[in-house]
Amino acid sequence: MTLGTANAVLERWNALDPAEAVRQVLPCCGSHAWADSLAARRPFASSAQLFAASDDIWSGLPEREWQEAFDSHPRIGQQHAKAASAESLKWSSHEQREAMSQDHAMRAALAEGNRRYEAKFGRIFIVCASGKSAAEILGILERRMENLADVELREAAEQQRQITQMRLRRWLGVE
């Protein structure tokens, strides 16, 4: 199936009542405002339209809505989050599987990096971890520790956008 055509999941989702549509798509992002807005824009004729609408909505959300999405992720190397659905946690575990399989020293380095990041920026470190090793993620974290707060917020938001797009694809079965 190409990204420009509708699929069965999207067609079913288009037909749901608004509350159920929000519930089903929320694990893809974690922001209720994003999920509400995406559901309100239905119906989508194609997955490409859905992906574009997702990006448009995400870029227009205020920082507090970004923070709600960030809070739906576990720290790198962990399996619980401040506020996440079971589906979101399952996806996070899948996305972080490369980082989770590392040795004790690497896990300790990631935990320390997470702690320093949170102390500096006041939120967890968000990175699109899929396919990245723990060493790669630690390198990204160290590089981003050099960012100014406003630059890092935009980087975290971009990482969340990438995660959302990946999860939407997984949800639709168009990975």
Q: Report, as residue numbers or ranges, the catalytic residues.
A: 73
75-163 CATH choice from 3.90.660.10, 3.40.50.1820, 3.40.50.12780, 1.10.3330.10 = 1.10.3330.10
Q: Are 117 and 126 in contact (CB under 8 A)?
A: no
Res 100: pLDDT: 61
Q: Any residues with CB less than 8 A from the CB of 124 and at least 6 apart, and which?
A: 70, 71, 73, 75, 82, 114, 117, 118
Q: Where are the domains of the chain?
A: 75-163
Task: Tell me the pLDDT band of 174, cut-offs 50, 70 and 90.
Answer: confident
Residues making up the chain, counted from first to last? 175
Mean pLDDT of the 54-67 span: 96
- Residues 42-58 as b/e (b if ≥16 CB within 10 A, e otherwise) read bebeebebbbebbeebb
142-154 pLDDT, tens per residue?
A: 999 999 999 999 9
